[in-house]
Amino acid sequence: MKILITGITGFAGSHLAEYMLKNHPEVEVCGIIRWRSREENIQHIKEHLKLFECDLRDPASVRNTLKEVMPDKIFHLAAQSFVPTSWRAPSETITTNIVGQINIFEAMRDLGLLETKIQLACSSEEYGLVHEDEVPITENNPLRPLSPYGVSKIAQDYLGYQYHQSYGIKAIRTRTFNHTGPRRGEVFVVSTFAKQIALVEKGRQEPKIFVGNLEAKRDFTDVRDVVRAYWLSTEHCLPGEVYNIASGETHTIQFILDTLLSFSKVNIQVIQDPARMRPSDVLILHGDSTKFRKVTGWKPEIKIEQTLKDTLDYWRENIQ
């Protein structure tokens, strides 16, 4: 079996590749990279991967890559995935996330890859504005996106449905709630806290940590549990259907910060930074993944405290 991972050099993509090599050695793991892709996330496994340079925004590039690989499964993880960036660069976010996926679908149609399953990494940000009486969030909750990123993920999600209904593309739509862990980009909340703590510990930063909104509640799952869920989705879930992937537990960002600080012996002052506040913030994301768990038997195995400790240790090891 051949699998193709878009965004293999990214956070989730690199963990999925690692998971596949460890748990499914019979599978050939292929990945799409861009000419400017940073490859540190896959450096330790690169020799076991088959990598293809491809620009998802270029239809010819996508078609040529899929024709060369002819994958049995595609995990579409490549995206502009940082919510604040989507306000600064809404057009780029829409183009990257929507047009890139359309190019994959059209190449699949053209090449006759109608038996190839494609897992779409959609997002809980699609739900956006959630009222108190609407949690935990099921797949039937209204979609009220509060960012251009959320809008782009709805488009990806519904294109998966439309291409399945119209052309038989075997798209599996997974709405993943917040996931974090080692190798998460430093702009994301858990990583930015962990990196700042590590910098303070090494004397590279004043004993101050800069934060945004600490009252927001999020449903965090360890990325290593999430990529296992992605694989299971292609084994057990129905094409065209949508499934939440979530821990089912919520924590305030304040809890995340306090837990990370508890792992350090240094005294650090917490300072709110207006630049880290969003124009409109999702107050609560609390997912109900009952549908997904019933079909796949999946459940998260890594506790949030372990995830946070591993993330902090990652930055301790990777800051010189």
What share of the chain in percent tops pLDDT 90?
Answer: 88
Are residues 150 and 168 located together in one domain of the fold?
A: yes
Give the closest residue to 108 by CA, choosing from 38, 199, 169, 24: 169
Are residues 21 and 139 located together in one domain of the fold?
A: yes
Give the closest residue to 176 by CA, choosing from 153, 151, 194: 153
User: What total number of domains does the chain contain?
Assistant: 2
Instruction: Using DSSP bridges, classify how beta strands 217-218 and 251-252 pair: parallel, antiparallel or unpaired.
Output: antiparallel
> Cα separations (Å) of 248 from 28, 91, 156, 219, 221?
33, 33, 24, 7, 9
Interatomic CA distance for residues 74 and 252, integer angstroms = 34
Which tens digit of pLDDT belongs to each residue from 147-161?
999 999 999 999 999
Residue 54 token pair: 């491809």
Instruction: Using DSSP bridges, classify how beta strands 50-53 and 73-76 pair: parallel, antiparallel or unpaired.
Output: unpaired
Give the pLDDT of residue 274. 78
Are residues 241 and 254 located together in one domain of the fold?
A: no
Are residues 127 and 204 located together in one domain of the fold?
A: no
What share of the chain in percent tops pLDDT 70?
Answer: 98
Residue 213 sits in a domain of what CATH number? Answer: 3.90.25.10
Are residues 42 and 165 located together in one domain of the fold?
A: yes
Compute and round to an integer the Cα radius of gyration of the chain: 19
Are residues 131 and 209 located together in one domain of the fold?
A: no
Structural domain range at position 145: 2-180+222-248+291-296
Are residues 237 and 116 located together in one domain of the fold?
A: yes
Q: Is the pLDDT of residue 278 over 70?
A: no
3-state secondary structure of 292: helix
List CB contacts of 140: < 8 A, sequence separation 6 or more. Answer: none
Residue 115 sits in a domain of what CATH number? Answer: 3.40.50.720
Which tens digit of pLDDT belongs to each residue from 100-155?
999 999 999 999 999 999 999 999 999 999 988 999 999 999 999 999 999 999 99
pLDDT category at 87 given cuts 50, 70, 90 is confident
Q: What are phi and psi of 25, to 5 degrees?
A: -65, -15
Are residues 60 and 117 located together in one domain of the fold?
A: yes
Give the pLDDT of residue 26. 96
CB 284 within 8 A of CB 250: yes
Q: How far is residue 9 CA from its own chain's centroid? A: 12
Q: What does the mean pLDDT of the chain come to?
A: 95
Are residues 66 and 95 located together in one domain of the fold?
A: yes
